[in-house]
Amino acid sequence: MSTDLTRRHCQPLEGHPAMTAAEITQHLALVEGWQLAGGFIEKRYTFPDFHRTIGFVNALAWIANAEDHHPELALSYGHCTVRFNTHSVNGISINDFICAAKVDALLKTGA
């Protein structure tokens, strides 16, 4: 089902409400390994070295720019934690799950 999310694109959501707790739970089931943490959805990715970590971050940056939806990142040698929320709705939105699915797809396609 996350494949369906990868086919969608982020939309402006000003004036729309944030997802409810039930909607967030439902959507978390569509993106493996993502969890709710402090008003964000987040996932930690691990890599064998810094070079691959930065390659992942660069590919993720391309997605974020294309979707105009930008995560918070925490990275170090061999890992990167990605956190999404939607400032315009003051919470979690479908845009966060669209981007989460697209970031996951990076590793499934070998990008």
Average pLDDT over residues 16-39: 97
**Residue 12: inside a domain:** no
Q: Which two tokens stand for residue 83?
A: 């956190």
**Residue 11: inside a domain:** no
* 46 contacts 75 by C-beta, under 8 angstroms: no
Compute CA distances 51 → 40, 54, 56, 58, whole Å. Answer: 27, 5, 9, 11
Task: Say how far apart CA 60 and CA 99 lie, in whole Å.
Answer: 9
Asked whether the predicted pLDDT for residue 8 surpasses 90, the reply is yes
Average pLDDT over residues 35-63: 97
Q: How many domains does the chain have?
A: 1
Domain that holds residue 47: 2-6+17-108
Q: Could you tell me the pTM of the whole model?
A: 0.93
Q: How confident is the model at residue 3 (pLDDT cuts 50, 70, 90)?
A: low
Task: Say how far apart CA 29 and CA 54 lie, in whole Å.
Answer: 28
**Residue 73: inside a domain:** yes
Q: How confident is the model at residue 111 (pLDDT cuts 50, 70, 90)?
A: very low
Asked whether the predicted pLDDT for residue 105 surpasses 50, the reply is yes
**Domain holding 24: CATH number?**
3.30.1360.20
The pLDDT score that the predictor gives to residue 1 is 47
